[in-house]
Amino acid sequence: MEVTSTPIYIRKKSNGRISIKSGNKVERVMKATGLVLFALTILAFMSFNYSGLDLTKAISETAYNLKTMFLEPALSHFTWGEAFYQVGITLGLAFLSTILGAVIAFFLALMAATNLSNKWISKTVRILVAFVRAVPTVLWVLIFAIAAGLGSEAAVLGMLFHSIAYLVKAFSEAFEEVDKGILEALTATGANWWHTVTHAILPSTFTYLLSWTFLRFEINFSVAVAMGAAAGAGGIGFELFMASGFYFDMREVGLITYIILILAIVLEITSTRLKSRYFPATSVN
C-alpha cells in the first residue's frame, strides 16, 4: 500500500464547519500563477497582427540564416588579431570589475555576517546591498553611462557596483556557516577579531569564496559582452552588435558567437579545476 506525502490542512470556518484541503498554499499559488501565465501567453499570440506574414517563407529564411550563421562562420570586417584584441578587452572589463568587487565585498561581508558583526551594522549593510542587488546590472551600467559618459569606465563601474552587492550576500552567508565552536575556541584562547577572521573564517570558506568569485566573473563576462554595444565599452560585444545590426553579416555573427561560446566553456572548466584543486584548503586544523 502506497502512502502519499501530500499534506492535508484542516481549518475551522466561522460558521463552525471544518474545511479540509490537500496540498499546501505555495503549491496552489504556483499552479495558479503557471495557469495565468499560460493563458496570457496564448492570449498574446492570438492578439498578434499576422497580416502580411508568409509563414512558409519566414521559416525557410530563418533556416537559411541559421545555416549561414553556424555552418559558414567567417570574419569579414575585422581580422583575427583584432578579434583576439576585442576578446581581451571584454575579459579585461569582466576581470577588473570582479577582482575589485571581490576585495571590497570581502570586507563588507565581514560586517554583514551576523556571527562577526554588530546586529545593527549587519542589518544596515544587508539592506544597502539588497537595494543595489535589486537593480539589474545593465541598469547600473546605463546609470553610470549617463553620469560618466559612454565607455569602459561606465561598464566597469556598473558591473562593479552590482558585483559587490552580489558577492556580499554570497560571502556573508558562507561566513555564517562556519562552526560556532571554532570561533568560541579561538575567542577563549585570547584571539582578537582579525585573528579569528584570518585563522578560522578565511581558511574555512576559501573554496566558497573562490567559487562565488569565479561565478561572478562568468556573469560579468556575459554582461561585458552585452555592454560592449549598450554602453559603448567596446570589446567583442560591440563587434557582435555591428555584425548583426549594422552589417547584417550572419557569417560574422556566427563566428563571434562561437568565440563567446568557447570562452564560456573554458571559464567553466577553469572554475571546476580551481575548485577541485583548492578544496583541501578548506579544512581547519
Least confident of 71-75, 124-128, 228-232: 228-232
Range of the domain at 28: 8-47
- The pLDDT, as a whole number, for residue 164 is 94
- The pLDDT, as a whole number, for residue 152 is 78
Distance from C-alpha of 159 to C-alpha of 273, rounded to nearest angstrom: 25
How does residue 16 score in pLDDT terms, banded at 50, 70 and 90?
Answer: low
Nearest to 252 by CA among 86, 57, 92: 86
**Does one domain contain both 43 and 152?**
no
Distance from C-alpha of 225 to C-alpha of 241, rounded to nearest angstrom: 10
Structural domains counted in the chain: 2
Q: Domain for residue 165, yes or no?
A: yes
Q: Domain for residue 3, yes or no?
A: no
Q: Domain for residue 149, yes or no?
A: yes
Instruction: For the beta carbon of residue 164, count every other beta carbon within 10 angstroms.
Output: 25
**Does one domain contain both 86 and 204?**
yes
Q: Domain for residue 15, yes or no?
A: yes
Residues 6 or more apart whose Cβ sits within 8 Å of residue 271: 211, 214, 215, 218
Q: Domain for residue 61, yes or no?
A: no
Distance from C-alpha of 227 to C-alpha of 220, rounded to nearest angstrom: 10
Q: Grid coordinates standing for 273?
A: 579545476
How does residue 282 score in pLDDT terms, banded at 50, 70 and 90?
Answer: very low
Average pLDDT over the chain, rounded to an integer: 82
User: Do 194 and 129 touch, CB atoms closer than 8 A?
Assistant: no
| pLDDT tens-digit readout, 185-212 | 877 877 787 888 887 888 888 888 888 8
DSSP notation for 117-182: S-HHHHHHHHHHHHHHHHS-HHHHHHHHHHHH-SSHHHHHHHHHHHHHHHHHHHHHHHHHTS-HHH
**Does one domain contain both 35 and 166?**
no
Distance from C-alpha of 160 to C-alpha of 118, rounded to nearest angstrom: 26
User: Do 235 and 228 touch, CB atoms closer than 8 A?
Assistant: yes
- The pLDDT, as a whole number, for residue 56 is 84
User: Phi then psi for 8, rounded to 5 degrees?
Assistant: -115, 130
**Does one domain contain both 16 and 137?**
no
Nearest to 158 by CA among 237, 238, 236, 96: 96
Range 243-263 average pLDDT: 87
Question: How many helices (H) does the chain have, and how many strands (E)?
Answer: 11, 2
Helix (H, G, I), strand (E, B) or coil at 12: strand
**Does one domain contain both 148 and 219?**
yes
**Does one domain contain both 37 and 143?**
no
| pLDDT tens-digit readout, 115-148 | 888 889 989 999 999 998 888 888 888 888 887 7
User: Do 163 and 98 touch, CB atoms closer than 8 A?
Assistant: yes
- State pTM to two decimals: 0.74
**Does one domain contain both 38 and 98?**
no
**Does one domain contain both 254 and 156?**
yes
**Does one domain contain both 40 and 176?**
no
Nearest to 155 by CA among 216, 240, 94: 94
**Does one domain contain both 124 and 36?**
no
Q: Domain for residue 238, yes or no?
A: yes
**Does one domain contain both 173 and 255?**
yes
Q: Domain for residue 71, yes or no?
A: no
CATH number at residue 199: 1.10.3720.10
Distance from C-alpha of 187 to C-alpha of 179, rounded to nearest angstrom: 13
How does residue 178 score in pLDDT terms, banded at 50, 70 and 90?
Answer: confident
Nearest to 73 by CA among 254, 262, 240, 260: 254
Q: Domain for residue 27, yes or no?
A: yes
**Does one domain contain both 171 and 232?**
yes
Q: What percent of the chain has pLDDT over 70?
A: 87
